[in-house]
Amino acid sequence: MSQDSEGFWLFSPILFHWLLSLTFSFRIIMKRRNIGATLAWVSVMLLLPYVGVGVYLLLGEMRLGKRRERRIRQLIDPYKQWIQSLSEGYQVDWTNAPDAAKYLDRLAARSEGTPTLPGNSLELLDDCEGVLRAIIEDINRTEETLYMEFYIWHNGGVADEVLEAVIKARRRGVITRVLLDSVGSKDFLKSANCKRARKAGVEIVEALPAGIFRAIFRRQDLRLHRKIVLIDGHTAYTGSLNLVDARYFKQDAGVGQWVDLMVRVQGPAVEVLATTFLADWDVETEGRQIDLNEDTGVVRQEAKGNAMVQVVPSGPGFYPDAIYQLLLTTIYSAREELIITTPYFVPDDALHTALRTAAARGVEVTIILPAHNDSWLVRYASRSHYDSLLKAGVRIMRFNAGLLHAKTISVDKEFCLVGSVNFDMRSVWLNHEVTLFVYNHAFCDHLCYQQRQYILQSEELQASDWAQRPKQERILENIVRLASPLL
């Protein structure tokens, strides 16, 4: 073999890597996604021979799968019409509401069609066992329908008692439907408890099934992250708590018990939560077990309180960028005080700038984060934002009483957000989430009180102390930050 041939075969893998990487880099550029994510993916392509292309094919594009995309196209118009029709007969009084609430209402209504509905009764529940006990009490009273949707169902403790209540409800004739994420609930779905519930007649559906073969056709990290319970179509729970007993969940992670918030809802907003569940169920079952106009378990609601609530579902397919726009608008609407709690804090440039700008214009911005996180990647990506935020005057509180998992935002003590959305790009763009936008002073007061309880259990991060951290920590933070658009 000649030297020229030997040289060609020696360098051909390198040439092929560059050709492949440049081809996919061009594809990424033409997708016109945000610049941070584009540069991050191009870097992955060029720096990781062949592996970068493989990772991109698995995780780089919003591939929902042909069947799922087809089903969503079939559902999106009828479900949006149904949601929009919910506002008929309800009169929203914006007299005492802040201007920002009106802007958010208009933005959400135009982006995804969900209206603000008056007449809701809201109860903020901040104790894990107390939440599960309340759910059990409501399940024991249910007569017709019980719908549940969670990212994680984990065996152990009071969670097992919830399952017993579900099985008993089914045995007395209640229609029971449970939708669980394939990845988050994989252990439960394989468990004897799940088999026993199915044998009793409980309909348990695995959402977004994951696997090596499926990765060829659909992106595997698009997850169902909502937490919803619906009882007889008139009572609902939603928030950040998975169906887990915190005393038995991830006790070997070294972060303490998880700390969550849930909201018990009665009133017209329950209809939107029910519609959200039904849309998810319809996609997973292709409508085989539910008819949009029959057997839905959704009943017309009477006023139960005085809270105005806008339920905002988000996620790829139905509402791809609604929550992102609403989060930005929420931050920019703050005039005096902005308090955020989130377990995973990896904002993109726009959200990061919005927080710094709020602090610079005199808003007291406080971000409450768990002192210890169960993801080291997120931990270091999050810390890479601290320097500039602290310099801008943002207060960063590190919660020491467990892994603070509550996802909340309060603005000027006037309105607030509670739901399942984390302050990271995965939650904003990739996961199916749900958030309550609450325009009610009394409920906001309750949430602000709870946020201040979290602050009392936290230690404020001082800029002078943070500047003294080891140099190797800074290097690692900045390296991991390069991948933050992908987290």
Written as one string, the DSSP assignment of 339-405 is EEE-S-EE--HHHHHHHHHHHHTT-EEEEEEESS-S-HHHHHHHHTTHHHHHHHT-EEEEE-SSEE-
Using CA atoms, how far apart are residues 306 and 299, in angstroms rounded to an integer?
19
Using CA atoms, how far apart are residues 358 and 161, in angstroms rounded to an integer?
45
Domain that includes residue 178, residue range: 66-95+118-306
We report the CATH number of the domain holding residue 379 as: 3.30.870.10
Asked if residue 77 belongs to a domain, the reply is yes
- 348 and 299 belong to one structural domain: no
pLDDT in tens, 31-53: 666 666 677 777 777 676 666 66
Asked if residue 181 belongs to a domain, the reply is yes
> At a CB cut-off of 8 Å and minimum separation 6, what does 435 contact?
311, 312, 314, 323, 326, 407, 417, 418, 419, 420, 421
- Where a domain ends, among 306, 339, 354? 306
- 283 and 385 belong to one structural domain: no
- 208 and 295 belong to one structural domain: yes
What's residue 285's pLDDT? Answer: 87
Asked if residue 453 belongs to a domain, the reply is yes
Selection from 475, 474, 470, 462 nearest residue 390 by Cα: 462
Q: Tell me the average confidence (pLDDT) per consecutive run of 10 residues in the chain, 487 residues long.
A: 51 66 70 68 70 66 65 73 75 87 88 87 96 98 96 97 98 97 95 97 92 57 90 96 94 87 96 91 74 54 86 80 92 97 93 96 97 84 92 97 96 96 88 95 97 98 91 82 63
Answer yes or no: are the C-beta atoms of 355 and 454 closer than 8 Å.
no
> At a CB cut-off of 8 Å and minimum separation 6, what does 68 contact?
218, 283, 317
Asked if residue 416 belongs to a domain, the reply is yes
CA angle, residues 158, 159, 160, in degrees to nearest 5: 85
Asked if residue 104 belongs to a domain, the reply is no
CB environment 418-442: b (16+ within 10 A), e (fewer): bbbbbbbbbbbbbbbbbbbbbbbbe
H or E segment to which residue 119 belongs? strand 117-125
- 153 and 286 belong to one structural domain: yes
Pairing, β 395-399 against β 433-439? unpaired
What's residue 109's pLDDT? Answer: 82
- 169 and 41 belong to one structural domain: no
* Burial class of 225 by CB neighbour count within 10 A (0 to 12, 13 to 18, 19+): buried
> At a CB cut-off of 8 Å and minimum separation 6, what does 188 contact?
152, 153, 154, 155, 180, 194
Chain length of the chain:
487
Using CA atoms, how far apart are residues 174 and 49, in angstroms rounded to an integer?
55
Residues pairing with 339 in the sheet: 366, 410
**DSSP conformational letter for 468:** T
Three-state secondary structure of 163-175: HHHHHHHHHCCCE
DSSP codes of every residue in 211-261: -TTGGGTS-TT--B---EEEETTTEEEEES--B--TTTSSTTSSS-SEE--
- 244 and 344 belong to one structural domain: no
- 416 and 375 belong to one structural domain: yes
- 391 and 299 belong to one structural domain: no
Q: What are phi and psi of 294, to 5 degrees?
A: -140, 150
Asked if residue 464 belongs to a domain, the reply is yes
334: left (phi over 0), alpha (psi -120 to 50) or beta: beta
- Where a domain ends, among 306, 340, 369? 306
- 327 and 247 belong to one structural domain: no
Using CA atoms, how far apart are residues 383 and 244, in angstroms rounded to an integer?
28
Residues annotated as part of the active site: 225, 227, 232, 405, 407, 412
CA angle, residues 327, 333, 337, in degrees to nearest 5: 100
- 71 and 51 belong to one structural domain: no
Tokens of 232: 């007889």
What's residue 302's pLDDT? Answer: 76
Tokens of 283: 């996609």
Asked if residue 102 belongs to a domain, the reply is no
Tokens of 432: 């199916």
Total structural domains within the chain: 3
- 225 and 77 belong to one structural domain: yes
Query: What percent of the residues of the chain are helix, what percent strand, and what percent coil, each to the nearest 5?
Result: 45, 20, 35
- For the chain, report the end-to-end CA distance as a whole number of angstroms: 48
- 422 and 293 belong to one structural domain: no
Amino acid at site 216: I
Asked if residue 147 belongs to a domain, the reply is yes
- Where a domain ends, among 255, 274, 306? 306
Question: Model-level pTM greater than 0.75?
Answer: yes
At which residue do the structure tokens 């790829």 appear? 316
Answer yes or no: are the C-beta atoms of 146 and 231 closer than 8 Å.
yes
Amino acid at site 134: A
